[in-house]
Amino acid sequence: MAEKIILKSSDGEVFEVEETVAMESQTIKHMIEDDCAGNGIPLPNVTSKILSKVIEYCKRHVEASAAAASKYAAEDSSSKPADNELKAWDEEFVRVDQATLFDLILAANYLNIKGLLDLTCQTVADMIKGKTPEEIRKTFNIKNDFTPEEEDEMKVRLISGKSTKHIAVVWQSVVKATEPPTCMRLVFVMENGNGWLPAVVTSGSRASAFGGLGEYNCLRCCLAYGLLR
């Protein structure tokens, strides 16, 4: 009774799937509704390897929705274990090499399968979170196309919110004002081992932050005055 839809991958393989499963893809759904599914739907952008994975995903999720629907009808609120199972299945599903993961992203986008797109993009996002720029580049083999000057500029901006041009001017004027230095104590607040918020205490008054100087500009200033051992 369940209608079958024919899907053809880019490398000529033919897949027969149930209509409900195929309709997880909005792209395919529209084609079916527009009556273009007659002789099978060609998917020139999706290889058989990826298409079989996509179909696997859709099957599993159609099953899950059906189970949830019947539970809802029976007013059974014990959906938690099933949800956790599905989550675990999803996690296992995306445990693939990067090439496949990005192929899945492209396929999910082309076939317009929201759940799969969300899942795969979230996986890549999780691989990005918590990494430094260099680590991100390593993980994804991204080429660093910044010049050293541009990198310096970015580092300073990232830490201080100001551009290097601005910093230089501020730094010079600060150095002039305290020459010879009347600093009694230089206090550095370390944050995550990355950023330094420098503060200078001058003769008894409370600490006033440089508030925005780049880390190495301030360090340079301190080194110049032998304040940093």
Quick check: helix, strand or coil at residue 223? helix
Is 187 a residue that touches another protein (CB under 8 A)?
Answer: no
Is 154 a residue that touches another protein (CB under 8 A)?
Answer: yes
Select 37 or 107, whichever has its Cβ closest to another protein: 107
Is 168 a residue that touches another protein (CB under 8 A)?
Answer: no
Written as six digits, the tokens of 40 are 């099978």
Is 211 a residue that touches another protein (CB under 8 A)?
Answer: yes
Is 158 a residue that touches another protein (CB under 8 A)?
Answer: yes
Q: How far is the CB of 185 from another protein (least distance, A)?
A: 18
Select 7 or 156, whichever has its Cβ closest to another protein: 156
DSSP character at residue 200: E
What's the sign of the alpha-carbon dihedral 151, 155, 161, 164? negative
Subset of residues 39 to 98 that bind another protein, contact rule: CB under 8 A: 97-98
Quick check: helix, strand or coil at residue 168? helix
Distance of CA 152 to CAs 133, 160, 208, Å? 13, 12, 25
The secondary structure of the chain in percent helix, strand, coil, rounded to multiples of 5, reads 55, 15, 30
Site string for another protein, 105-144 (x = CB under 8 A): xx--x-------xx--xx-xx--xxxxxx--xxx-xxxxx
Per rule CB under 8 A, count of chain residues that contact another protein: 44
Written as six digits, the tokens of 156 are 């300073």
Residues near 34 by Cβ (< 8 Å), separated by ≥ 6?
A: none
CA gap 201, 180 in Å, rounded? 14
Which of 99, 176, 204, 205 lies at the binding interface for another protein (CB under 8 A)? 99
Q: How far is the CB of 209 from another protein (least distance, A)?
A: 8
Q: Are 4 and 17 in contact (CB under 8 A)?
A: yes
Binding stretches for another protein (CB under 8 A): 97-99, 101-102, 105-106, 109, 117-118, 121-122, 124-125, 128-133, 136-138, 140-146, 151, 154-155, 158, 161, 189, 191-192, 195, 197, 206, 208-209, 211
